[in-house]
Amino acid sequence: MEGGWSFGLVAETDEGVAGYLIAREAAGTGEILNLAVAPEARRGGIAWRLLQAGLATLATRRVEEVFLEVRASNLAAQALYRRAGFRPVGQRAAYYRSPREDALVLRREVTAG
Ligand SMILES: CC(C)(COP(=O)(O)OP(=O)(O)OC[C@H]1O[C@@H](n2cnc3c(N)ncnc32)[C@H](O)[C@@H]1OP(=O)(O)O)[C@@H](O)C(=O)NCCC(=O)NCCS
């Protein structure tokens, strides 16, 4: 993306890579593109820490708001994002394939420091 930048964060345990987050920024707006934790490593706070680190990284780059899309059926991710302060602001019909499904668009404000 012109003028923008993206980054990835990786979470490691003694067993190896346990999760990752990919995000980008353009014109003061951040986007969480992907966040995943290995099934055997879930519910241990790894996604939470990746998300907080990702938001902190975006905040250092003058990002004021962050958006992301999540499958309407993905209640685990929605619970995580809600707890992290994201709120629904829209819906994209049939955004996902295999299976075809709506996306919820979530947004959170970011404040530096
Ligand atoms: C969603 C996902 C990233 C969560 O990873 P995780 O490391 O297990 O999440 P954490 O342990 O950091 O959870 C933090 C909080 O989020 C919420 N949460 C996470 N998973 C949840 C679940 N299955 N059900 C309900 N709440 C959940 C809880 O509030 C949790 O806190 P708690 O464990 O103290 O109750 C993981 O389930 C995953 O990789 N899923 C598949 C990929 C995916 O859906 N990515 C998001 C796409 S937008």
For the chain, the domains span 5-109
- Regarding the domain with residue range 5-109, which homologous superfamily does it belong to in the CATH classification? Gcn5-related N-acetyltransferase (GNAT) (3.40.630.30)
From 12, 22, 42, give the residue whose CB has the most ligand 1 atoms within 8 Å, as the site to mutate.
42
pTM: 0.95
Tell me the pLDDT of the chain averaged across its residues. Answer: 95
What the block records as the tokens of 103 is: 């996306």
User: What does the pLDDT read at residue 3?
Assistant: 74
From 46, 48, 82, give the residue whose CB has the most ligand 1 atoms within 8 Å, as the site to mutate.
48
State which ligand 1 atom lies nearest to the alpha carbon of 70: 48
Q: Kindly indicate the confidence band of residue 111, based on its pLDDT and cuts at 50, 70 and 90.
A: confident
pLDDT at 2 over 80: no
What are the strands of the beta sheet with 101-109, ordered from one edge? 5-13, 16-26, 29-37, 65-71, 101-109, 87-96
Closest CA to 50 of 11, 18, 107: 11
pLDDT in tens, 46-62: 999 999 999 999 999 88
